[in-house]
Amino acid sequence: MALEAVSLDSDGLKAKAKRIRELIIKITTEAGSGHPSSSLSATEVVTALHFGGFLKLDPKSPRDPGRDRFILSKGHAVPVLYAALCERGYFTEEQIMTLRKLGSPFEGHPNAAKLPGMEASTGSLGQGLSIGLGMALGMKADKTDGHVYVLMGDGEIDEGQVWEAMAAADKYKCGNLIGIIDVNGYQQTGATDAVLDMGPLAKKCEAFGWHTLEIQGNDMNEVMDALKKAKAETGKPTCIVSHTKKGAGILPLMEKWGDTNMHGQPLSADKAKEALEYLSKA
């Protein structure tokens, strides 16, 4: 199989997102640790990238130099990436069930040296956009037509390095660089607005010279539309400010359980069972 993107229709995308959510819950509950709620908020974006016709990849040749790149800068959400790559044919469900276990390459945060599909080692927050910028500059230098997608969290953009990268990407007019900020409203100790209010994000991105789009990031149609517009913009980098809900897909359960953040908390076996039943009826 050569490099290609996978394009599912609207129903197919929704089914795939549901399947990815199931895997996120299963593997984090099996691991007994991890960040399912941060993974669930980003599920539509990651699903659209992998199954909406964007990421040109070859699971049989995962290091093909001509591939598109996806960097999960919010590395703690790696279950969504393992799940998507599992569905893409990179890994089996059995393999990713070893998440966080001793000797498993499916570490708690992406390790680029250990596992194909991990384009950058992340988990120290704020660093993915810089690495993505380097990749975008490399593509431009070699005059290849790929794209680099970097998914960031709304907490990690507290890091100044993100804005260093924003300014440099504007300087070099990296139209092949697409940043997505998963604005799920929470970081480790509380609401992002309470920890460090970054103000109007879209205006900030625009002011840094980026083509900026603002969407409801758990609405697959809006995600697809924004990614298409981002790809069509070739003169400058695009930032998609993607408003989501932490735990999207099972949020009503999280509300019932009394915690709408659940940062770094896997579901107990009982809650996971309840969540999987809930998802199957959704």
Partner 1 sequence: MASATDDRSVSTTRPMGDATRDAFGRALEALGADFPEVVVVDGDVGNSTRTEWFALKYPDRAYNVGIAEANMVGVAGGLASMGKTAVTASFACFLLNNAFDQIRMAVAYPKQNVKLVGTHAGISIGEDGASQMGVEDVGLACSLPGVTVIVTSDGQQTRAATKAMLEHKGPVYLRLGRPKAPVIYEEGAEFEIGKSIRLREGGDYTIVANGMMVSMALDAADVLAKEGIDCRVVDMHTVSPLDEQALTDAASETGGIVVAEEHLAQGGLGSRVAQFLSATIPTRMAFVNIGDTYGESGDPAGLLEKYGLTSEKVADAVRSLRG
Among the listed ranges 19-27, 85-93, 166-174, 188-196, the one in contact with partner 1 (CB under 8 A) is 166-174
Size of the site for partner 1 (CB under 8 A): 33
CB of 1 to partner 1, least distance (A): 22
Does the protein bind partner 1 through residue 165 (CB under 8 A)? yes
CB of 131 to partner 1, least distance (A): 4
DSSP assignment of 135-154: HHHHHHHTT----EEEEEET
For residues 65 to 84, the per-residue mask of contacts with partner 1, x marking binding by CB under 8 A and - elsewhere, is: x-------------------
Amino acid letter, 45: V
Nearest CB to partner 1, comparing residues 172 and 278: 172
CB of 152 to partner 1, least distance (A): 13
CB of 111 to partner 1, least distance (A): 7
Q: b/e for 69-104, b at 16 or more Cβ within 10 A?
A: bbbbbbbbbbbbbbbbbbbbebbeeeebbbbbeeeb
Site for partner 1 in 103-142 (CB under 8 A): 111-113, 119-124, 126-127, 129-139, 141-142
Does the protein bind partner 1 through residue 171 (CB under 8 A)? yes
| Helix locations, the chain, DSSP H | 10-31, 36-41, 43-51, 78-88, 93-96, 128-141, 160-171, 192-195, 201-207, 220-232, 251-257, 269-281
Q: b/e for 18-30, b at 16 or more Cβ within 10 A?
A: bbbbbbbbbbbbb
- Which residues of this chain interact with partner 1, rule CB under 8 A? 65, 111-113, 119-124, 126-127, 129-139, 141-142, 160-161, 164-165, 167-168, 171-172
